[in-house]
């Protein structure tokens, strides 16, 4: 087996990342960390602090994080066991915005507090009345949700000026909101809403209307008397049942879809959330309505929802790499997944929360998001082309091992500590996702309950993958075997580093290797969009949260080919889709010759938040 290395001594980028983002400097008491092993020990001790056998579990947790086999998310690495008043949760979705000036600025305050404490946020702006609507109380004319998104954007920029951690926000809007066209076009102007990622909540009804070339009604909850206005019942964002909604106008569904696709083609945003599928497959479908996600999309969450994340580094489990005997050690993979599940469950109890409502929701559902990273490199080490049935089977097999180990561990934790408070056995087991679990897991849940409502999520793992020796991020293929990366130092200066991909570096360091690379050494630019979609679609059924995945396409791709990516994503059962085409607004995500990117984008591998 190739053990994951401790790369900080020889890897300048990893060393800078550790020093600037995760190293604890102490509080003048001599506790400053001098090595990444100190960081692992601090985090392991904090995670084990509530255990009856704290020393024993500290040892187990240290064994999982040692050598970067299990990678807790950035907030955990930076904050666990310190005296910092920060949350250990990366991801939050804010409460619904009441459609009043008081409600808007109350949610703005809550968003600012959450981001100041280290959390990225998702916000559904669908509850704000459309541009031009009249406020009954004051007679004023509404400016619409997009204008108030500018207020959130300014808030985020102001926090950045105070030296706070880089903010990340997801803004969503329903596809039937009267301001959906303004939302779709919001990022056409360079420099607009730069602290936001945007996603449209796309429903099954809308996709049917596109297929049938039907008209599509744009609606908003009725205020006052309907008069002659057309009214239709809709379960609007934030409502627990259907409410009467006024149809403001009708548009061509296909024309609206084309407008969305044109915006994504030209500006890389908005992304698409297949929101009905997200809710249908939600383990807590019986008590939640989800209308937004965390900034990178791997965690769909209800109002005030939160999730703590961690990823298993698949490269650490490859035995006999680059040989005909190369295999993935499923036994050790399952053992690590079990320890990581307990670790993440413990984080819920030791973390602070920016808002009481977030603590209540997190402890009520006990959501965690255990995922994988290093898939692209692991496949290369196994001698498998990313775009092959064998590679997809290997990825599916590894994730199945992790999912089953996580669910079985959560059942054991329920027997030991109790099920999550929102657990209701019959509706939980009747859910679309739970129905597909192995029979022994379903029997265990029925008998003993389950500790966590959700367990699996695949995050982009940008910075922690760099820390682990530049393993490929999440389930992405390798971006480039050699590249330049720009990282912000603790002093606020950008520094550029030459980087070498983990698998490529292992191959190159073996003196017996020839200069030519085997065919399994592929990068994202070598792959078709279909190859990306196939990998995501194979893994999606195993994931109870969601998957953050970017389909990088060449600038020369035709609009028709680009649009077909999103249609196939829907047809193949994905919960969302993000395709990135280099464009004048955002530039390229990352260059293998330039230190970019010039601006922030949700797809950027530098996303420290995950």
- Quick check: is 91 catalytic? no
Q: Could you say which DSSP state residue 520 is in?
A: T
Q: Are strands 306-313 and 368-373 parallel, antiparallel or unpaired?
A: parallel
> What's the number of CA atoms in the CB half-sphere (13 Å) around residue 448?
19
Tokens at 432, concatenated: 């679309």
**Residue indicated by tokens 């997190």:** 362
Please give the angle made by the CA atoms of 324, 327 and 331, to the nearest 5 degrees.
160
Beta strands per DSSP E along 314-380: 318-319, 327-328, 368-373
Tokens at 319, concatenated: 């035995």
> What's the number of CA atoms in the CB half-sphere (13 Å) around residue 289?
13
* SS (HEC) of 299-347: CEECCCCEEEEEEEEHHHHEECCCCCCCEECHHHHHHHHHHHHHHHHHH
Catalytic residue among 91, 245, 296, 602: 296
Helix (H) or strand (E) holding 505: helix 502-509
**Alpha helical stretches, state H, 232-329:** 253-267, 275-280
- Quick check: is 283 catalytic? no
Beta strands per DSSP E along 119-210: 120-124, 169-174, 196-202
Grouping H, G, I as helix, E, B as strand and the rest as coil, residue 51 is: coil
Cβ neighbours of residue 269 closer than 8 Å, sequence gap 6 or more: 187, 197, 198, 263, 601, 602
Give phi and psi for 531, each to the nearest 5.
-65, -40
* Inter-residue contact 414 to 384 (CB < 8 Å): no
* Inter-residue contact 22 to 8 (CB < 8 Å): no
Q: Could you say which DSSP state residue 587 is in?
A: B
Tell which residue, 477, 462, 458, 489, has the closest CA to residue 603.
462
Catalytic residue among 11, 282, 294, 545: 294
Catalytic residue among 58, 288, 298, 606: 298
Could you tell me the sign of the dihedral formed by the alpha carbons of 569, 574, 576, 582, in that order?
A: negative
- Residues taking part in catalysis: 294, 296, 298
């Amino acid at each position: 087996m190739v053990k994951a290395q401790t790369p900080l001594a020889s890897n300048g980028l990893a060393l800078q990342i550790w020093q600037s983002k995760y190293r604890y400097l102490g509080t003048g008491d001599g506790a400053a960390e001098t090595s990444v092993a100190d960081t692992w020990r601090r985090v392991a001790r904090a995670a084990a602090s509530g255990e009856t056998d704290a020393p024993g579990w500290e040892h187990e947790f240290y064994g999982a994080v040692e050598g970067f086999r299990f990678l807790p998310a950035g907030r955990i690495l930076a904050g666990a066991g310190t005296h910092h008043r920060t949350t250990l949760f990366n991801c939050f979705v804010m409460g619904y915005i009441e459609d009043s000036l008081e409600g808007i600025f109350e949610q703005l305050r809550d968003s600012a507090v959450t981001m100041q404490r280290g959390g990225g946020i998702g916000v559904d702006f669908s509850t704000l009345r459309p541009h031009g609507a009249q406020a009954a109380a004051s007679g004023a004319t509404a400016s619409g949700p997009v204008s108030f998104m500018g207020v959130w954007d300014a808030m985020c920029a102001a926090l950045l000026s105070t030296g706070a951690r880089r903010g990340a926000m997801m803004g969503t809007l329903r596809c039937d909101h009267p301001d959906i066209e303004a939302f779709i076009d919001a990022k056409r102007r360079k420099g607009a809403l730069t602290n936001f990622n945007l996603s449209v909540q796309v429903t099954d009804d809308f996709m049917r209307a596109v297929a049938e070339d039907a008209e599509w009604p744009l609606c908003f909850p009725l205020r006052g008397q309907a008069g002659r206005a057309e009214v239709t019942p809709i379960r609007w964002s934030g409502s627990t049942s259907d409410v009467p909604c006024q149809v403001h106008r009708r548009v061509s569904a296909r024309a609206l879809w084309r407008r969305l696709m044109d915006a994504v083609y030209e500006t890389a945003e908005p992304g698409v959330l297949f929101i009905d599928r997200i809710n249908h497959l939600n383990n807590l479908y019986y008590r939640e309505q989800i209308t937004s996600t965390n900034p990178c999309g791997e965690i769909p969450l209800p109002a005030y929802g939160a999730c703590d994340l961690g990823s298993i580094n698949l490269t650490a489990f490859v035995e006999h790499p680059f040989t005909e005997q190369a295999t993935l050690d499923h036994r050790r993979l399952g053992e690590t997944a079990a320890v990581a599940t307990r670790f993440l469950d413990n984080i819920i109890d030791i973390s602070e929360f920016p808002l009481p409502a977030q603590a209540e929701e997190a402890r009520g559902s006990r959501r965690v998001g255990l995922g994988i990273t290093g898939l692209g490199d692991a496949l290369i080490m196994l001698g498998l082309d990313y775009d092959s049935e064998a590679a997809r089977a290997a990825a599916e097999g590894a994730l199945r091992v992790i999912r089953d180990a996580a669910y079985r561990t959560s059942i054991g934790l329920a027997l030991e500590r109790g099920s999550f408070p929102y657990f209701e056995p019959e509706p939980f087991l009747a859910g679309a996702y739970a129905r597909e679990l192995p029979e022994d897991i379903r029997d265990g849940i029925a008998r003993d309950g389950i500790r966590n409502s959700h367990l699996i999520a695949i995050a982009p793992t940008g910075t922690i993958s760099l820390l682990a020796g530049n393993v490929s991020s999440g389930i992405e293929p390798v971006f480039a075997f050699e590249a330049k990366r720009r990282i912000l130092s603790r002093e606020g200066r950008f520094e550029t580093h030459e980087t070498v991909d983990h698998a490529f570096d292992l191959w190159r360091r073996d003196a017996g290797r020839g200069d030519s690379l085997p065919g399994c050494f592929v990068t994202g630019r070598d792959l078709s969009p279909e190859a990306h979609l196939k990998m995501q679609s194979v893994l999606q059924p195993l994931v109870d949260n969601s998957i953050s995945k970017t389909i990088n396409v060449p600038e020369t791709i035709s609009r028709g080919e680009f649009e077909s990516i999103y249609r196939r994503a829907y047809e193949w059962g994905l919960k969302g889709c993000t395709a990135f085409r280099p464009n004048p607004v955002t530039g390229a995500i990352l260059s293998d010759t330039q230190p970019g990117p010039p601006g922030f984008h949700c797809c950027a591998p530098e996303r420290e938040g995950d």
